Amino acid sequence: GNSVTQMEGPVTLSEEAFLTINCTYTATGYPSLFWYVQYPGEGLQLLLKATKADDKGSNKGFEATYRKETTSFHLEKGSVQVSDSAVYFCASRSGGGADGLTFGKGTHLIIQP
Amino acid sequence: EPEVTQTPSHQVTQMGQEVILRCVPISNHLYFYWYRQILGQKVEFLVSFYNNEISEKSEIFDDQFSVERPDGSNFTLKIRSTKLEDSAMYFCASSESNTGRNQPQHFGDGTRLSIL
């Protein structure tokens, strides 16, 4: 079955630092890949997605590229803000519309002013 | 922007009691899902629902769980006889139809279920 592994947190950075959160996946076939973000007290929000190899998803300054050769989908941002503090989840999905997402454990990101 | 809404935000129930968690998916969505997140662990898929029947379920979704779409707007998760280990955050999600795995799932804010 599918699995997603992401780096353990918490990750603590200063404002304007460069961010990388690593994510690797195992899956049968060619999954779609997603990053979700969970702000304190809120639900999961889709941050970005990529559906095939070499696709780059981007949103709000965050980017992630679907790397089939390394089975990775690392999340990056060039300059983080305090408001980016949240838990970030990498997820994969195979198959048809009814298939559930497979999530990583989540990475808690803390940005200090 | 339309959103998935879940009620209640927090449910406290005695062990052995039945509990129903409620969700209103986005109105034009046709696929519905439940996930759970036990404190400190990853978000886990429970079940997906389409065209008034279960499409896929995980091994977590055993006979104590059931789902229902009782009317045109609600989607419910029932836990028949709750156990302490059912304590978790339960998330409802929905997605549009047709293009399958490329469609993102939109999540509600979750219901925190506490079993005493």
Q: What is the DSSP letter of A72?
A: B
| pLDDT confidence tier of residue B37, bands split at 50, 70 and 90 | very high
Considering only CA atoms, which of A22, A28, A26 is closest in space to residue A9? A22
Residues near B51 by beta carbon (within 8 Å), at least 6 away in sequence: B30
What is the chain A residue with the closest CA to B96?
A: A97
Computed over every residue of chain A, the mean pLDDT equals 92
Tokens standing for B65? Answer: 């769980």
Size of interface A-B (CB pairs under 8 A): 75
Cα–Cα distance between B107 and B110 in angstroms, integer?
8
Chain B partners within 8 Å of A95 (Cβ) = 100-101
The token pair at A63 is 């980017």
pLDDT band at residue B101, thresholds of 50, 70 and 90? Answer: low
Over residues A25-77, the pLDDT tens digits come to 998 778 999 999 999 888 899 999 999 899 999 999 999 999 999 999 999 99
pLDDT of B91 higher than 80: yes
Q: Do B44 and A103 touch (CB under 8 A)?
A: yes
CB atoms within 10 A of CB A66: 21
Span B76-98, average pLDDT: 92
Which alpha helices (DSSP H) does A58-105 contain, by range? none
Q: Tell me, what's the pLDDT at A41?
A: 80
Q: Chain B partners of A44 at a C-beta cutoff of 8 Å?
A: 43, 91, 93, 107
Give me B16's structure tokens. 């052995």
